[in-house]
Amino acid sequence: MPPVARPQRATRVPDVRVGDEVIVLTGKDKGRKGTVTKVVTNQQGWKRSTERYGSGWQRTSPLAGAAVVIDGLNIAKRHTKPRARAGATERQPRIQQGGILEIAMPLAISKVMVVCPACSVPTRVRHQEAADGRSVRVCGKCGEPVTRVESKRK
């Protein structure tokens, strides 16, 4: 009997956005707070997991491949050699300085939780409809909006 085809899940928008203050729930930076600088929805590293564990692992969650980069957290050190930059038109080629770079690496979105700006407590995000009909992210504990309500662009 052929395997039953499951319906494709709709891509879900992460409740964590750029500029949100979040707290890390697990790992070496557990309990530390930081600001989200980038949201990565499709990482190449997550695609490699498909080769290793099969394609079914991604169906567990629509946000399985989402990750966030938090300023100052999950730091990796990258050792670089000094190298001549390509395409230098001057007589002396520019040399890229070598050294140890500290780079903030992506962290799985399931390992962070949004901190409410009103009550300063880690919370789940709910969605409510604003007066103008837009969907607004709201703190699950105190009910205050997590982000400011902006008017629609014309």
Average pLDDT score over residue span 24-40: 92
Average pLDDT score over residue span 38-53: 65
pTM score above 0.85: no
Average pLDDT score over residue span 130-141: 84
| pLDDT for the residue numbered 82 | 85
pLDDT of 91 over the 70 cut: no
More confident residue, 93 or 70: 70
pLDDT of 114 over the 70 cut: yes
pLDDT of 21 over the 90 cut: yes
Q: Please name the helix (run of DSSP H) or strand (run of DSSP E) that holds residue 136, with its range, or none.
A: strand 135-139
Two tokens at 69?
């980069």
Q: In 3-state terms, the chain is what percent helix, strand and coil (to 5)?
A: 10, 35, 55
| pLDDT for the residue numbered 116 | 92
**Phi/psi-derived region of residue 74, left when phi > 0, alpha when psi is between -120 and 50, beta in every other case:** left
State the chain's mean pLDDT as an integer. 78
Two tokens at 29?
């930076």
Tell me: the pLDDT tens digits for 65-82? 688 899 999 899 989 888
